[in-house]
Amino acid sequence: MTATTTTDVSHIAPREKAEILSQALPYIRKFHGKTIVIKYGGNAMTDPVLQQDFAEDVVLLKLVGLNPVVVHGGGPQIEDALNKLGKKGHFIQGMRVTDEETMSVVEWVLAGEVQQDIVGLINAAGGKAVGLTGRDGGMIRAKKLRMLDKDDPAKEHDIGQVGDIVSIDPSVVKALQDDQFIPVVSPIGFGEKNESYNINADVVAAKLATVLQAEKLLMLTNIRGVLDKAGELLTELTPRRIDELVADGTISGGMIPKIAGAIDAAKSGVNAVHIIDGRVPHAMLLEVLTDQAYGTMISSR
């Protein structure tokens, strides 16, 4: 990841800039002091221009009084690292089988390369980011994920050091927020015997948003949001409607854990969960500080 030049807004007339700021003011006032958890992934993590947009958005949200917390993924980067080592990834029901050697690579890539790139981007944009894993401050306690066979629930697959969250202690995140830092969290937890676990980043973001009593959970993706069978954007969803979309196959694959985490967060007190298109420049600012819908909002109602 490398920083690029700051977005050029010189073509916008002063009157238009003032209008944009005046429209954002009610949202800045409404969300001042509130926590926003951001799941960072997809094209926004790999396109240099979008990386810069993301970093600027996070810094601006912090400067206007919100408290952003970033949780990042890194599947493509892990796959690249494994390929360089000559280790072929193995998946069961869409989940990466994570043996001890693979777990070492996961930790190195997520908590090292990817996390530090994100921290560097935010700091270069004028923020003060600090990288964390679930080990820091005893934040994410985990246990081995039990994966039942989708066709035969009596059968269980061993997928290694893939974790299920037992609990999250947000103390270290809150301490950093109080000191005006921006936490950047890698989705790695630890078990009873100090073993490491790789955890789905969507699940970590949703659970962290819940325990922090976040105002919003923003999940950046490579699609416009949740689409119906005709490819049209569904701007609002309820749990009942989501059940229908899963049943008829409209929602499937990697979108299922993302949606499940979103529903859990919405039911547990997070006021709004947004699945937004990370390919849109400054998508987060547009979602948080304007009345435009740039994805799908999920509510518990």
Tell me the binding residues.
Answer: 74-75, 96, 198
In the predicted structure, residue 293 carries a pLDDT above the cut 80: no
pLDDT tens, 108-129? 999 999 999 999 999 999 999 9
Of 205, 249, 246, residue with least CA distance to 71: 205
pLDDT at position 7: 44
pLDDT at position 264: 83
Q: For residues 91 and 39, which has the higher predicted lDDT (pLDDT)? A: 39
Structure confidence at residue 107 as a pLDDT band (50, 70, 90): very high
With respect to CATH, is domain 35-298 assigned 3.40.390.10? no
pLDDT tens, 58-76? 999 999 999 999 999 888 8
Tell me the binding residues for substrate.
Answer: 74-75, 96, 198
Q: Rounded to whole angstroms, how far apart are CA atoms 66 and 35?
A: 6
Query: What is the amino acid identity at position 109?
Result: V
pLDDT tens, 208-254? 999 999 999 999 988 888 888 877 888 888 878 888 888 887 787 66
- Three-state secondary structure of the chain: CCCCCCCCCCCCCHHHHHHHHHHHHHHHHHHCCCEEEEEECCHHHHCHHHHHHHHHHHHHHHHCCCEEEEEECCHHHHHHHHHHCCCCCCEECCEECECHHHHHHHHHHHHHHHHHHHHHHHHHCCCCEEEECCCHHHCEEEEECCEECCCCCCCEECCECEEEEEEECCHHHHHHHHCCCEEEECCEEECCCCCEEECCHHHHHHHHHHHCCCCEEEEEECCCCCECCCCCECCEECHHHHHHHHHCCCCCCCHHHHHHHHHHHHHCCCCEEEEEECCCCCHHHHHHHCCCCCEEEECCC
- Which of 48-57, 129-138, 188-197, 261-270 has the least mean pLDDT? 261-270
Phi, psi angles (nearest 5°) of residue 44: -60, -20
Predicted TM-score of the model (pTM): 0.88
